[in-house]
A = this chain, B = another copy of it.
Amino acid sequence: MQNSEALALAAALLAAAGELTRHINDGVVARGFDGRPAYGFAFTRLAPDGATVTELATHLGVTKQAASQLVDELVRKGYVERRAHPADARARLVVLTGRGWECTRAAEEAAAEAVRAWSDVLGEGEVAVLRDRLVRIAPHGPIRPTW
């Protein structure tokens, strides 16, 4: 592979990820939720059993302070609650509220909608293959484009 093709791959990845993220957020907003893209990805970590701020920070690839601020925001908007952690008195368990679950489902619907458009181009099987490859490449990386 030529060097320039590697950069092209990076550009395509960013373009696809950005487009998908935007679609999801638009869909969530269209369904009546006040949010920004980070919410959906926070929710995937908080569901189904909640998570600590530190775990969320790792998942999102930000400092725990930034994650804490995000949780503040989510609490203010009624999507999550801070509860006492059952096994560690220092920690607090952040869990989804009813409305948080609704918003999560809205994000999933919007994501499915966006991916459906890709299936129309590539076919459903190819999209599944694509997902499989991506998961094998970046299985545990933080969900954060950071640029």
Count of chain copies: 2
Report chain B residues within 8 Å CB of A6. Answer: 108, 111-112, 114-115
* A110-147 with Cβ < 8 A to chain B: 111-112, 114-115, 118-119, 121-122, 124, 126-128, 130-131, 133-147
Given A108-B4, A114-B6, is A11 in contact with B147 using a C-beta cutoff of 8 Å?
no
A84 on the B face (CB < 8 A) = no
- Categorize the interface residue count of chain A: 35 or more
Q: Assuming the A-B contacts A112-B3, A134-B13, are A18 and B143 also in contact, with contact meaning beta carbons closer than 8 angstroms in the complex?
A: yes
When the two chains form their complex, are residues A111 and B17 in contact, meaning their CB atoms are under 8 A apart? Answer: no
Among B12, B107, B126, B141, contact of A15 (Cβ-Cβ < 8 Å)? B141
Q: Is the interface of A mostly helix, strand, loop or mixed?
A: helix
Binds B, one of A34-42, A50-58, A72-80, A86-94: A34-42
Residue among B4, B122, B145 making CB contact with A18, cutoff 8 Å: B145
Question: How far in angstroms is the closest Cβ of chain B from A97?
Answer: 19
